[in-house]
Structure 1
Amino acid sequence: MRIGLGLPIVTAYPPTTQAWEAGAGIAEIAAVTRVSDALGYDHVTCSEHVAVPEDIAAVRGGVYWDPLATFGYLAAITRQIRLATSVLVLGYHHPLEVAKRYGTLDQVSGGRLVLGVGVGSLEEEFDLLNAEFHDRGARADDALAAIRAAFATGRPTHSGPYYSYDGLMVEPHAVQAHVPVWVGGRSRRALRRALELGDGFSPFALAPTEVRAMLDAVDLPEGFDVILTSGPLDPLGDPDGTRRRLDELEAAGATVVTASIDATGVEHYTDQLGELHSIARTQGAVFTSPTEGTR
């Protein structure tokens, strides 16, 4: 099992955002990411919403840092940690836009992109962006196939029910021969989409027992990742609870955990990262070799 980090600050979701995040910004995001990189954590995440109506923001949050801009900055100050969108809403973008912009990010980061994608659920935002909502699942399937075709080459071709192109150049393209794609969702259809078109399944708002039941009903291919979120962890204050939570997620099928950290400030947060690293290693979690320093 590998451990990544759900970045603080970049998403202000009311039930989980901590008080110290309100006054924090890119300096704190960079500090957390540098420590995660040096300790060998697998990835950091950044979510996407473009425009959230105020009444909905009160429940779902209204602050969402743009993942492309955020990751472009973080790529320049780190060496090895992967950069995972969690998630990019496929319906908000033409596939060639995603291939070009995130293929460029893969280039500037030295092949560290993980493309986390979802179909989206906020109809009001689809309307604001003039994006089609009611057939978004079928559109997402075609878009994902089109993106994968364009990631691999500077001269992509694709012919699908919603997107078709040929005889064009998209340069630069991704440096990875195969960009990992994690498909988000909470339904059996989302799991099928992940198995058919992705490299991993990243469920949300499901209990570990529900995830385990879904996974037991399908055949998982070799190397397929299951990415589960930890909820708030307090490694220094509650190491036993942290161990139990990691065990619970591994039993549910997690090959990757995206951790959230309970903290009172950025220094406490980075101390917590060090302790989580120690606890997880004793339980067999895999970290990359620590770096000597960052760029």
Structure 2
Amino acid sequence: MKVGISSPIVALSGKRPEWEAEAGTAELVQVAETADRLGYEFMTCGDHVAVPPGLHRGERFYDPLATFSFLAGRTRRLRFLPYVLVLPFYHPLEIAKRYGTLDHLSGGRLILGFGVGNLKEEFDLLDVPFEDRGPRADDALKALRAALSGRQVSYEGPYFSFQDMVIDPHAVQPKVPMWIGGHSERALRRAVTLGDGWAPAPQSFRGPTPELMREMLDRHDLPDDFNVLFTPGERLDPISDPARVTDIIATAEQAGATHINLTVRHNSLPHYLEQLEAFAKTAALDIEP
């Protein structure tokens, strides 16, 4: 079981500790460097351009490309997962070039997480069609698969078309992992047929229970290398309750997950980092000396 962190600081929603609201570059670097040393697989960052005031999911959203590009230079092993990019906001070649450059500069540490989006106000603001966002996203995924890891690329589809276009630099991974967000059957079908993994929302955002996740996965013929992200429906306290760490890993395995997206209880930056270390030791992650 691989474990990544649902990054603090980069997004604020609900009741979060005061230190996160006041934190900046130095604190974010400490989080990334600690996660890197402790053997965590990835860190996350969401994707919103501009949101209405008072949005229930929060108002702060760091830009994932700028954030990950900065942190790539301060880490060696940690991978970077935008969880999730709103795919209809972008032309596939824009993602292939911008995030392909990140993959190039980081030495192949990119995982792409995609969703079709559901905040209509943001679609309207960006003058992006909302009603056909599903089929538009499907075509974009096919175009991305054709474009992400090649220098001279071509694609022909109902929404996107390009012939013999050069992308230099581009992703160094021969096949950049593409994980699809969303908690519906349609989202899972999109993940199985067009992606490399499924990254549903946590239960607190209407995501599936572990039991439902297992039922949904069992209805599909999954590829051997298909990845599934499980976000526990609670903030863990590895320092005070290490047994719960073991329980959550077992729950994730039973649900069919290959990765856990970790959130922990904390009241300060030192407390957060201590929780990461406690979880890593209990879960036997690949901690550097």
**TM-score above 0.5, yes or no:** yes
Q: SS of 2:12's equivalent?
A: coil
Query: Is 1:101 aligned to residue 103 of structure 2?
Result: no
Q: Shift of residue 206 of structure 1?
A: 1.7
**Which one has more relative contact order, counting CA pairs under 8 Å at least 6 apart?**
1
Q: Shift of residue 237 of structure 1?
A: 1.8
Amino acid at match of 1:80: R
Q: Could you tell me whether the CA contact under 8 Å between 2:47 and 2:85 is conserved in 1?
A: yes
Identity among equivalent positions (%) equals 48
Shift of the 249–18 alpha-carbon distance from structure 1 to 2, 3 Å rule, reads farther
RMSD: 1.2
Q: SS of 1:116's equivalent?
A: strand
Q: SS of 1:243's equivalent?
A: helix
Q: Shift of residue 291 of structure 1?
A: 4.2
Q: Shift of residue 247 of structure 1?
A: 1.8
Q: Shift of residue 246 of structure 1?
A: 2.3
Q: Shift of residue 242 of structure 1?
A: 2.6
Q: Distance in 1 between matches of 2:118 and 2:241?
A: 35
Q: Distance in 2 between matches of 1:140 and 1:162?
A: 9
Query: Is 1:263 aligned to residue 260 of structure 2?
Result: no
Q: Distance in 1 between matches of 2:76 and 2:10?
A: 20
Look up the match of 1:203: 200
Look up the match of 2:26: 27
**Count of residues in correspondence between the two structures:** 283
Match runs of 1:36-55 below 5 Å: 36-55=35-54
Look up the match of 1:12: 12
Amino acid at match of 1:274: E
Q: SS of 1:51's equivalent?
A: coil
Look up the match of 2:135: 138
Look up the match of 2:223: 221
Q: SS of 1:166's equivalent?
A: strand
Match runs of 1:140-289 below 5 Å: 140-204=137-201, 205-230=207-232, 231-281=234-284, 287=285, 289=286
Shift of the 197–172 alpha-carbon distance from structure 1 to 2, 3 Å rule, reads same
Instruction: Flag as ranges the 4+ runs of structure 1 deviating above 4 A.
Output: none
Amino acid at match of 1:233: L
Q: SS of 2:27's equivalent?
A: helix
Amino acid at match of 1:14: G
Q: Shift of residue 40 of structure 1?
A: 1.1
Query: Is 1:86 aligned to residue 83 of structure 2?
Result: yes
Match runs of 1:59-70 below 5 Å: 59-70=56-67
Structure 2: gaps spanning 5 or more residues? 202-206
Q: Distance in 2 between matches of 1:210 and 1:101?
A: 36
Q: Distance in 1 between matches of 2:12 and 2:151?
A: 37
Q: Distance in 2 between matches of 1:229 and 1:26?
A: 26
Q: Distance in 2 between matches of 1:71 and 1:141?
A: 25
Q: Shift of residue 20 of structure 1?
A: 2.2
Q: Distance in 2 between matches of 1:54 and 1:268?
A: 30
Q: Shift of residue 76 of structure 1?
A: 0.2
Q: Shift of residue 25 of structure 1?
A: 1.4
Q: Shift of residue 278 of structure 1?
A: 1.3
Q: Could you tell me whether the CA contact under 8 Å between 2:266 and 2:272 is conserved in 1?
A: yes
- Output the TM-score relative to the length of structure 2: 0.95
Q: Shift of residue 182 of structure 1?
A: 0.6
Query: Alpha-carbon deviations, 1:209-234, whole Å to 9, x = none?
Result: 11111011111110111111123111
Q: SS of 2:111's equivalent?
A: strand
Query: Alpha-carbon deviations, 1:180-221, whole Å to 9, x = none?
Result: 111101111111111111111011122111111101111111
Q: Shift of residue 18 of structure 1?
A: 2.7
Q: Shift of residue 240 of structure 1?
A: 2.2
